[in-house]
Structures are given as structure tokens and as C-alpha cells.
Amino acid sequence: MSTASGAPALERAIVTPDPARPYVAAALVRIDLRATQLHLVAGTQEPISSVKTARPGSIPAADQRSGALLAAFNGGFKAANGAFGMG
């Protein structure tokens, strides 16, 4: 997927920051927020909610079929680790 100017909407790089441990790698991703829309979805277990609605933990089928899905990321901070994120 690219922007209107032809630039990539998403780019990635793999960085190995420690020459003594070449097996350690970090993936960096740059997303052009001018060319994309972000959608935040609550996890299946966190944040804890008083509303007892089941959360499926998957990408809605309509979004999968749209042809516009660029990326999906799993994970985040749990409340026990500092209450970061949606809470």
C-alpha cells in the first residue's frame, strides 16, 4: 500500500543493537499516519470492563475482506505491569 504520492505507507527495518549478541533483534515499523487510519481494539481479557460483552480478539471479517487492511499488531501492556494503554 502506498500514499497518493507513491511513498510507502508502511516501512520496516530490523536492527541488531548489540554486536556481542547478534541473535538479539528489534523490528521497527514506520507507519505514515497521513495515509492510514488506526483502529484500537480492546483485548479479550484486558482492560477489565464492568460490561460483560464478549470480545472476540480477532479482526472483523468485513475488515479482512476490504482489501485495505495494512497490518495488525498483537500485544500491549497489562494492567499488572503499570496500567498503561486503554485503562
DSSP string, 58-79: S--HHHHHSS-----------G
Q: Where are the domains of the chain?
A: 1-36, 38-87
pLDDT in tens, 10-20: 899 999 999 99
- On whether the CB atoms of residues 4 and 35 are closer than 8 A, the answer is yes
pLDDT in tens, 27-82: 999 998 888 888 877 778 777 778 888 888 888 888 888 878 888 877 766 777 76
pLDDT score recorded for residue 76:
67
Cα 54 from Cα 45, distance rounded (Å): 9
